[in-house]
Amino acid sequence: MGWLFKAGYTKNRLCAERVKTQENEFGIWEYPKYRLAGSCLWKICIRTDKETGAKESYICLDLIRSQKNYGYGYKDMCEESGPCYYTCPLSFFDIVPCPGNSYAAEWRQAVRQYQAEAKAQKLRYAAIKPGETYSLIKSKIPFVIITRKEGRKIIGSYMGALYRIPVKMLGERKTDPQALQDVSTVNLL
């Protein structure tokens, strides 16, 4: 439920410990696949009941963070609680069947949607070229001419001023100079 911090632990050391096989008198927990995405350690967990030999698999998430002058810690949860994090590798869904829980099913759908949108945004960013003109969404500036890209931001100019523009604010690509002139005149009146 809460966070567990380990004195002196680094992020790498904590993650290595969190994916080691664990065992007690009731069961064995193995983590055959895992991936660290920022502060999210995603794991496939296979739990074997020692008494019956029954195996159960599910997806786990360890949120990882540091505590100043102490070390790193984690907060663990499983997909059945419907975590509000969406960077889980989609390949995990092919390996682990979805539990019968509605939270897990809704979470898996949200992960798929989030990752599809992120992929579309990356493709859109890659297609944007300097010299192209785009309308803007939710902006008083009607359009910009792309001058360059910096990291995840796009630099565009409008009436001699430069603006840093997130990809999500870009509207349609414009090719008709007269339409652009009409839009800029209307907005300036």
Render pLDDT for 40-69 as a digit per residue (tens, 0 to 9).
999 999 999 999 999 999 999 999 999 998
Residue 88 in this model has a pLDDT that exceeds 90: yes
- The residues pairing with 55 across neighbouring beta strands, listed in sequence order, are 48
* Per-residue pLDDT band at 172 (split at 50, 70, 90): confident
| Paired tokens of 158 | 């409008």
Minimum mean pLDDT range among 21-25, 84-88, 174-178: 174-178
Domains assigned to the chain: 4-99 (no CATH), 127-188 (2.30.30)
Centroid of chain to Cα 169: 19
pLDDT score of 185: 46
Q: How much is the average pLDDT of 64-79?
A: 94
Q: Is the CB of residue 45 less than 8 Å from the CB of residue 60?
A: yes
Percentage of the chain with pLDDT > 70? 92
| Paired tokens of 154 | 């796009």
pLDDT score of 187: 47
Q: Is the CB of residue 55 less than 8 Å from the CB of residue 39?
A: no
Strand 55-67 to 71-78 pairing: antiparallel
By CB atoms closer than 10 A (0-12, 13-18, 19+), residue 170 is buried
Q: Which residue has the higher pLDDT, 175 or 178?
A: 175
- Report in angstroms the alpha-carbon separations of 86 from 9, 25, 110, 116, 125: 26, 34, 7, 11, 21
- CA–CA separation, 4 vs 134, rounded Å? 48
Q: Name the helix (H) or strand (E) containing 125.
A: helix 102-127
- What average pLDDT does the structure give for the chain? 90
- CA–CA separation, 29 vs 38, rounded Å? 24
Minimum mean pLDDT range among 83-97, 114-128, 175-189: 175-189
pLDDT score of 153: 81
